[in-house]
Amino acid sequence: MSTQAIESLSEDTVRRIADERDEPEWLVETRLNALSALETAELPDVIQTPGRRWTDLEALDFESLVDPLNQADETERTAGDDEVVVLPFTEALAEYGDVIEANFGSVLDPEHNYLTALSVALFTTGTFVYVPEGVDVEDVTVRAEMNSRSLFSQTLVVAEESSSVTILESIETGDAEVADDRYFSNLVEVVAGENANVQFGSLQNLDDDAYTYSLKRGVTDTYATVDWIESNFGSKLTRSDIETELNGDGSESQIVGTFFGTDDQHFDINARVWHQAEQTTADLVTRGVLDDVARSVYEGVQDVGEDAWNTSSYQRENTLMLSDDAEADASPKLIIHNHDTEASHSATVGQVDAEDLFYLESRSIDSRTARNMLVEGFFVPVLEEIAVDEFRDDVEELVLERLQ
Amino acid sequence: MSSQQDDLKETDTEARFEFKKEEKSAFKSEKGLTEETVRVISEDKDEPEWMLERRLRALEQFQEMPMPTDWPGQPDLSEVDINEIVPYIRPDIDKRGGADSWEDLPEEIQDTFDKLGIPEAEKNALSGVGAQYESEIVYQNMQERWEEKGVIFCDMDKAVQEHEEIVREHFMTKCVPPSDNKFAALHGAIWSGGSFVYVPENTTVEMPVQAYFRMNSEGMGQFEHTLIIAEEGSEVHYIEGCSAPKYSAFNLHSGGVEVFVGEDAHVQYSTVQNWSKNTYNLNTKRAIAEKGGRMEWISGSMGSKATMLYPSTILKGRGASDNHITIAFAGEGQDIDTGAKVYHNAPDTKSTVESKSIAKDGGRTNYRGLVHIADGAENSSTAVECDALMFDNESTSDTMPYMEINESKVDVAHEATVGKIGDEDIFYLQSRGLDDDDAKQMIVSGFIEPITEELPIEYAVELNRLVELEMEGSLG
């Protein structure tokens, strides 16, 4: 099966969304093209081995999940500095239409798959971040609440030459009551200019009635850095893809991921890097904990192209199982087309170390507390990668909350 | 060192595999695959009715299944047209089921195996030897002392006749059913030849038994079936070697291997595969290990145009263990897609996979592996380690492991590294007076040593020679 026709969707729906926002013609066109791409687009690839499909996206009933004309969110954006532009996507169109037009879709083809096309056709919220040349800003925050059955968000970050920016985004469920399930779709494009440095942190903690699709992709120019932190705590089912194309010589990317699944949560976490220029470096680090009957799926791809001379590429993934009924699938892949490469990857799955537990208990710490301490400790190597205190505190707090 | 190297160079290894013999056969089927073909093969072998039925059912499954095309990065199989293959060629020999003296074979077949060094190896290092030429075993012999202990080592076709009950129970039923994949189904329909090995309880066959498979004719397919049954507490080491001269048309090898490792039994299965570079090597190999049983797969994939082979072990009984050691060497025009599959279905099971691959001159290697730990397989552990060496920028080296963990009390680790031959290593060896070629050869020999040390010395030397042949003169 490739696609599901959503009957309530029509050209008219898309035009209404665009008209309400008084959007320029090119964007309306892009949306309509995405809409028609739905007819042929495929759902995102999911790993399948004999007898096991790692994530079942086909089971999602988009007909009932997608409610395009009643999208609602409450989003608070702070820039911390006048020199950087942080605006709701729609508002930004009036003043920065040219920059947006030049970059929109340049990183992530709206017709990449069925879910991206759906998202581009229907998005009503999102953020535009523009960092002019040489500007250095640390605390851009975007805190969003989802208040409708479905919400489609589109974010574009343009960092010009030698600029630097740290962006933290979070999404939670708001107070508005919604019957049945929800669907949240979040597309993020990051364009990092020469010698620019973008750190993009994302914290997803939606209620467990939500399905989340998130695809974030960055491209780097020469000497640029794009670092991602992707933390997933909420949602019933999460499909998250974090990707960097290292297109500039000497550019770098780090992808740090954390997840913590309880009950019957399902996380499908993907981290991918394409090395397409010389002297590029990538570091992929993901750590996750699974309790109850939660399940995780991880795919990491380090793709080294023919022209990627002198590449360094590393990947680590560790999953900790707290419950006997949890399940973890992992596939760390290396695709190497250039021999001048140093690449490694590793993946482990295990449980809390019995000796460590015994040691703590012998110090008269009760077993529950001891276990919780070890789980907190398990996250330390990834928390240390998070440079922003506020974000690290948020993640720590959510870990603690889950351990109670 | 250098004099030893020279000695090796004087042996014309290439000529040993590349010679061709005029095609002579007693019976040759038509090209392609129909129900008629299957009936003709079965009739020519005078098989019991149940085997014909199994073949026909497998044929049906083959025809229903699509060609595998959706595996990420898989080798191109578009050239593989089963209608262009001659599935069955019975060599022209007097005795069916394998002569027990080399002298009884027609001269050209005798000469073939002489050149491959099989009779020589038999004298020195083996408990028994089987030799297959085209579709049937032409020579089969085992030392008497094993026969006396009840060890059976015979041609698979003969086993169907003489050990019917045990073959009927184990042949493509619970280990590799034809429904497993399209080429297993193909194999089930037109299999011919191969070995049957039966080792009784508490018997240790101290020296390895070997089967050698040779394809001589252009455009043929070889579909030998190997069935190994090691009863409780027994131990056996089986070695298979394969080669064929190179033709312009493609050849197809689609073997089937089934291994039953009884309680506390130990089976080692070693393969040195050197098919010609027009051969598609699409095999299905699987072992089932009972309580405390131990299975070892040692595979060297040097030849073939494209290989898709993932020897698998099902760890069915408590405390069973598996050990995979694989080496893949892909040169110009070769796509070696190989790996390992392990299913941990019982508690206290262990597996280790060690994979080494070398890609050069535009070749591609891929490690594709699956480790599955079932719910309830407590205290299982698995460690997968993949190392790849790349020589140049035209080559490709991929690693695609899949891990499925349904049990929390486990220890799972996967690791992989990719590197190039270090300039410093080469410089060091050169400073000791070795030239560039020799230095690279030594580094490669060191890289694959974990594999060669698992093989009897004759085979280790053979493998080293093959590697050397691949490396010769092509380094820059």
Q: Report the pLDDT averaged over residues B202-223.
A: 88
The beta-carbon neighbor of B408 closest among A47, A324, A333 is A324
Q: Tell me the one-letter amino acid at A266.
A: H
Nearest by Cα to B185 from B6, B55, B1: B55
**pLDDT tens track for B408-434:** 999 999 988 887 776 778 888 889 999
Does the beta-carbon distance from A348 to B412 stay under 8 Å? yes
pLDDT at B250 over 60: yes
Instruction: Provide the pLDDT for residue A2.
Output: 43
Is the CB of A292 inside 8 Å of chain B's CB atoms? Answer: no
Contact between A348 and B420 using a beta-carbon 8 Å cutoff: no
pLDDT tens digits for range A152-170: 999 999 999 999 999 999 9
Average pLDDT for consecutive 10-residue bins of chain A (404 residues)? 67 95 96 95 92 90 90 93 94 95 97 96 97 94 95 98 96 87 97 98 95 98 97 96 98 97 96 97 96 96 94 95 94 92 91 91 93 94 85 92 88
CB-CB under 8 Å, B393 with A346: no
The reply to whether A368 touches chain B by the CB within 8 Å rule is: no
CB contact under 8 A, B418 and A346: no
Residue of A nearest to B368 (CA): A333
Task: Give the B-side interface with A, CB within 8 Å.
Answer: 73, 370, 372, 375, 388, 390-393, 395-420
Q: Choose, out of B403, B415, B417, B444, the residue to mutate when testing the contact with A (most A CBs < 10 Å).
A: B403
Q: At what angle do helices A11-20 and A114-122 cross, to 10 degrees?
A: 50
Phi, psi (degrees; rounded to nearest 5) at A302: -115, 105
Residue to test with chain B: of A2, A306, A334, A355, most B Cβ within 10 A: A334
**Nearest to B106, CA basis, from B21, B44, B28:** B21
Other C-beta atoms within 10 Å of A335: how many?
Answer: 21
CA pair distance B15, A89, nearest whole angstrom: 70
Residues in B closer than 8 angstroms to A293, CB to CB, are none
Confidence of residue B132 (pLDDT cuts 50, 70, 90): confident
- What pLDDT sits at residue B14? 57
Region for A162 from its dihedrals, namely left if φ exceeds 0, alpha if ψ lies in -120 to 50, beta otherwise: left
Ordered DSSP codes for B122-182: HHHH-SEEEEEETTEEEEEEE-HHHHHTT-EEEEHHHHHHHSHHHHHHHTTSSSS-GGG-H
Q: Which residue has the tokens 């494209």?
A: B306
Sort out which chain B residues have CB atoms less than 8 A from A327's CB and list them: 375, 404-406
User: Helices A354-362 and A367-383, interaxial angle, to 10°?
Assistant: 120
Nearest CA in chain A to B181: A50
Chain A: nearest CA to B286, how far in angstroms? 15
Whether the CB of A332 is below 8 Å from some CB of chain B: the reply is yes
- Inter-chain contact A344–B393, Cβ cutoff 8 Å? no
Q: Which residues of B117-134 are buried (b: 16+ CB within 10 A; e: fewer)?
A: ebeebbeeebbbbbbbbb
**For chain A, domain boundaries:** 11-352
Chain B interface includes A99 (CB < 8 A)? no
**Which among A325, A337, A342 has CB closest to B396?**
A337
Closest to A331 (Cβ–Cβ): which among B391, B402, B408?
Answer: B402
Are A330 and B405 within 8 A, CB to CB?
A: yes
Q: Is the pLDDT of residue B11 over 80?
A: no
Contact of A346 with chain B, judged by CB distance below 8 Å, is answered with yes
B140 contacts B118 by C-beta, under 8 angstroms: no
> Taking the CB of residue A82, how many other CB atoms lie within 10 A of it?
8
- Exposure string over A144-182, b if 16+ CB within 10 A, otherwise e: bbbbbbbbbbbbbbbbbbbbbbbbbbbbbbbeeebeebb
* Exposure of B51 in the CB half-sphere (CA atoms within 13 A): 28
Closest CA to B27 of B41, B47, B48, B9: B41
Cβ–Cβ below 8 Å for B418 and A319:
no
Alpha-carbon torsion angle B99, B102, B108, B111, nearest 10:
150
Q: How far apart are CA B314 and CA B295, in angstroms?
A: 10
User: Which 3 state secondary structure label does DSSP give B76?
Assistant: coil
Contact B396 A328 (CB under 8 A): no
Helices B182-190 & B49-64 angle (0-180, nearest 10): 150
What pLDDT was estimated at residue A228?
A: 97
Q: pLDDT for A102-160, tens place per residue?
A: 999 999 999 999 999 999 999 999 999 999 999 999 889 999 999 999 999 999 999 99
Which of A49, A329, A334 lies closest to B405 in CB terms?
Answer: A329
Q: What digits encode the pLDDT tens for the residues B362-412?
A: 999 999 999 999 999 999 999 999 988 888 888 999 999 999 999 999 999
* Identity of the amino acid at B264: D
Minimal C-alpha gap between B367 and chain A (Å) = 9
Q: Do residue A344 and residue B416 have CB atoms under 8 angstroms apart?
A: yes
Residues in B closer than 8 angstroms to A323, CB to CB, are 408
pLDDT band at B5 (very low <50, low <70, confident <90, very high): very low
Alpha carbons A151 and A213: distance in angstroms, whole number: 11
Q: What percent of chain B has pLDDT over 90?
A: 51
Rounded to the nearest angstrom, the minimum Cα separation between A378 and chain B is 16
pLDDT of residue B136: 83
The Cα A262–Cα A266 span in angstroms is: 9
Q: Per the CB < 8 Å rule, is A346 touching B419?
A: no
Nearest in space to B215 (alpha carbons), one of B192, B182, B189: B192
Percent of the residues in chain B that have a pLDDT greater than 70, as a whole number? 95
In chain B, the residue whose alpha carbon lies closest to the alpha carbon of A341 is: B419
Query: Nearest Cβ partner of B408 from A323, A343, A348?
Result: A323
Contact assignment for A329 to B414 by CB distance below 8 Å = no
Mean pLDDT over all residues of chain B? 87
Lowest mean pLDDT among B14-28, B209-223, B224-238: B14-28
- Does residue A338 sit at the B interface (CB-CB below 8 Å)? yes
What pLDDT does residue B177 have?
95
What's CA B321's distance to the chain center, in Å? Answer: 20
Helices (H), strands (E): how many in chain A? 8, 20
Contact with chain B for residue A303, Cβ under 8 A: no
8 Å CB contact of B414 and A350: no
Q: How far is CA B132 from CA B196, B376, B456, in A?
A: 13, 43, 21
Q: Which helix (H) or strand (E) holds A143?
A: strand A136-146
Q: How far is B312 from chain A (nearest CA, A)?
A: 13
Among B392, B399, B410, the residue with its CB nearest the CB of A334 is B399
Contact state of A350 with B402 under an 8 Å Cβ cutoff: no
Q: Which residues of B touch A342 (CB under 8 A)?
A: 418-419
Look at B402 and A323 and tell me if their CB atoms are within 8 Å.
no
Residue B404 to residue A338, Cβ atoms within 8 A: no
Confidence of residue B7 (pLDDT cuts 50, 70, 90): very low
Total beta-carbon pairs less than 8 A apart between chain A and chain B: 116
The C-alpha angle with vertex B240 and arms to B236 and B244, in degrees rounded to 5, equals 170
The mean pLDDT of B1-10, rounded to a whole number, is 43
Q: Give the per-residue pLDDT at B12.
A: 52
Q: Do B407 and A323 touch (CB under 8 A)?
A: no
Q: What is the pLDDT of residue B2?
A: 42
pLDDT over 80 at B476, yes or no: no
B396: which chain A residues are within 8 Å (Cβ-Cβ)? 335-337
